[in-house]
Amino acid sequence: MEKEKEETLSSLLQSYGSAAVALSGGVDSAVLLMAAVRTLGAANVAAVTAASELLAGGELEDAKCCAALADVPLTILPADDLASPDVARNDERRCYYCKKRRFEMLAAWAKEHGFRRVLDGTNADDAGDYRPGLAAIEELAPFVASPLKEARWTKRDIREAAKEWGVPVWSKPSAACLASRIEYGIELTRERLRAVEVAENALRRYIHGQLRVRCHGRLARIEIEPAEFDVFWQHREEMEDAVRSAGFTYVTLDLRGYRMGSQNEGLDMDS
């Protein structure tokens, strides 16, 4: 970790005075929470999670664990994302609509409770993928801030700090909301989101690295790291049965392996 980056982040956090950290259960927001507490003190920091069907159950448990480690109470705000037609119809702008409504809710809560900023865990590496949600966060600036990104912290920097600070999710694979598993144009429903979550939880018995079960209607496309392909073939029947039991008719393995944002590959980024 570069000393300059640590000092830049600390300076940014100090300038806020107080902040509510949007805690997702992942390593980025966990490190941001720890950094905020180390800089501002626990009395000036809140941890807030927007919980809905789009958040996998394990993420919420990890958020609770990280808040407890930071000695900051966790506030859980219900976010009925599927009640929004813009979110539920699941077009390529879904992430924008979802982030906008969530962070507007978090900002309203923070203002009501006297906090001067809402902090988002976006890091410097996140600019490489198609992420319309980042535009929503930028629209809510300066009250909603992304200090890790501004201080140029990369994922590697974040994991190094997390390990040093004893954050339990320091080695946790990158995650994303369950909606990111559903092919654009297929409506988000509780049943589809649940099927994806159940399937991924079942496959975790065998797969320990990056894992996604992508939903293409009745077809499930499994993405894992190529290094674990042998594990898949060793347990192919058990894994196929598990995914079928979750509610899918057809089960496939993506031979290109896991890659971030693969559902975006068919999009026309210039349109």
pLDDT, one tens digit per residue, over 203-230 is 999 999 999 999 999 999 999 999 999 9
Q: What percentage of residues in the chain have a pLDDT greater than 90? A: 89
Q: How many CB atoms lie within 10 A of CB 172?
A: 17
User: Which pLDDT score is estimated for 173?
Assistant: 84
Question: Is-contact 19 45, C-beta < 8 A?
Answer: yes
Task: Give the distance, in angstroms, between the CA of residue 9 and the centroid of all CA atoms in the same chain.
Answer: 21
d(CA 147, CA 212): 28
Residue 3 burial (C-beta neighbours within 10 Å; 0-12, 13-18, 19+): exposed
Name the class of domain 178-264: alpha beta
- Per-residue pLDDT at 269 exceeds 80: no
Look at residue 5 in the predicted model and tell me its pLDDT.
Answer: 96
Single-letter residue type at 249? T
Domain 3-164 and domain 178-264, same fold? Reply is no
Which positions ≥6 away from 122 have C-beta within 8 Å? Answer: 28, 134, 137, 146, 148, 149
Binned at pLDDT 50, 70 and 90, residue 128 comes out as low
**What is the arithmetic mean of pLDDT over 137-158?**
97
Cα–Cα dist 264/183, whole Å: 9
User: Cα–Cα distance between 154 and 148 in angstroms, integer?
Assistant: 8
- Give me the residue spans of the domains in the chain: 3-164, 178-264
Average pLDDT, whole number, for the chain?
A: 95
CATH 3.40.50.620 describes domain 3-164: yes
Residue whose C-alpha is closest to residue 264's, from 196, 182, 197, 195: 182
* Whether the predicted pLDDT of 266 surpasses 90: no
Segment 244-254, tens digit of pLDDT: 999 999 999 99
Structure tokens at 197: 């979550």
Q: Is the pLDDT score of 35 beyond 70?
A: yes
Give the pLDDT band (50/70/90) at residue 129: low
pLDDT at 256: 97
- Give the tens place of pLDDT for each residue, 60-88: 999 999 999 999 999 999 999 999 999 99
Other C-beta atoms closer than 10 Å to the C-beta of 263 total 20
Query: Does the pTM of the predicted model rise above 0.85?
Result: yes
SS3 assignment, position 222: strand
What's the pLDDT score for residue 271?
A: 46
